[in-house]
Amino acid sequence: MPKVRRPQIAGPAYDDRDGAPPPPRAQSHGSARRARDIPYSVAWFRDRIATYALGTIICGALMLTIAAWMGGSLGAFGRNMTNGFNVIAGWAGMGIKGVEVCGPGRTTQKPCPEIDGDVVTHVLAAADIKSGAAVIGVDPYAVRQQIEGLDLGAVSVQRLWPDRIRIELDQREAVALWQEHDKGGAWRVVDQSGQAFADADLSKYAGLPHVVGANAGEAASSLVAAMSAYPNLKERLEVAYRVGGRRWDIKFSGRADLVAMPDDQKLKAALDCVNLLHAETGLLDLPAMRIDARADTCKLAIQPIPGAPADPLSGDA
């Protein structure tokens, strides 16, 4: 029997020379190649974004559904979640059992310095940390901002795992009453760094040294520290006037009006000299308009009040 040939069906003629578009199969192959050319990292990132977006939408819808079931309040839902989390933290031994408030400077050899009890009360009230709450649920930055609003000093807050919180307060110390200009200006309470308290009861600090001058508040701390070595002079100090931003004219109680002190780096030596001569001769009780203690040696120049008797310090003055 003669062999029967199967008919051959020719595909559509395509000649790339005639500018005709490629057949559909060729187009699909090109699309597949273009998809394969996308970098793996880009495809991975795109898939993850889509997954997280879908998950966020689902979780949000779930929370709204639960909140509606609980009475339509997202706040109630959040409170219940927080309470449940605190219970779990308590079971795990991570519920807050104590809040420690102290000054800075704690080391392995040195305990945390204590601070005033009233200050501790104010700090704890501002921190508002509940006993039994989860340690991990306390935001140290938020607590610090709440305490800094009290204007008590620099604050740091730390979690002490598993169940304590430490608040360290570099407490501002009132050192002097400051008047910027000797023209009847307002008095302000300044701390050890020369910063004025925003709100302070002046009557409570009336016994502090009084300093006057443009930068007297900033320099008050060093003056008070230097005077602390001479209790007899410190209790007599009435007003210290800042001169030229570098030295003091001091009014002590007594008949003498002013004592001119040298530059700050020589202040201690001048105070030592004034203290010694006052102990020996009652220097500050002399009828003097001005005592100049700016000499390098312990020799003072005294300007007597007109009509006062001769200077009793003889050749040493």
Whether 105 is covered by a domain: the verdict is yes
Residues 158 and 191 in one domain: no
Whether 298 is covered by a domain: the verdict is yes
Range of the domain at 118: 98-171
Residues 154 and 217 in one domain: no
Residues 198 and 301 in one domain: yes
What does the buried/exposed string (b/e) look like for 51-87 if buried means 16 or more CB atoms within 10 Å of the residue's CB?
Answer: eeeeeeeeeeeeeeeebeeeeeeeeebeeeeeeeebe
Going by DSSP bridges, is the β-strand pair 237-243/210-212 parallel, antiparallel, or unpaired? parallel
Whether 31 is covered by a domain: the verdict is no
Residues 187 and 105 in one domain: no
Residues 104 and 211 in one domain: no
Contact 74, 67 (CB under 8 A): yes
Residues 254 and 125 in one domain: no
Peptide bond connecting 140 to the previous residue in cis, omega within 30 degrees of 0 = no
Whether 1 is covered by a domain: the verdict is no
From first to last of its 317 residues, the chain has per-residue pLDDT tens of 555 565 555 555 545 555 555 555 544 444 444 545 666 666 666 666 666 666 666 766 666 556 555 554 444 545 555 555 555 545 555 788 889 999 887 776 678 888 888 889 999 999 999 888 888 888 999 999 999 988 888 899 999 888 899 999 999 999 999 998 766 689 999 999 999 998 888 889 999 999 999 899 999 999 999 999 999 999 999 999 999 999 999 999 988 899 999 999 999 999 999 999 999 999 999 999 999 999 988 889 999 888 766 555 554 44
Of 215, 212, 188, 211, residue with least CA distance to 199: 188
Residues 64 and 103 in one domain: no
Question: How many structural domains are present in the chain?
Answer: 3
Of 207, 271, 263, residue with least CA distance to 238: 207
Assign residue 105 the CATH number of its domain: 3.10.20
Whether 11 is covered by a domain: the verdict is no
> Which domain-ending residue is among 149, 171, 193?
171
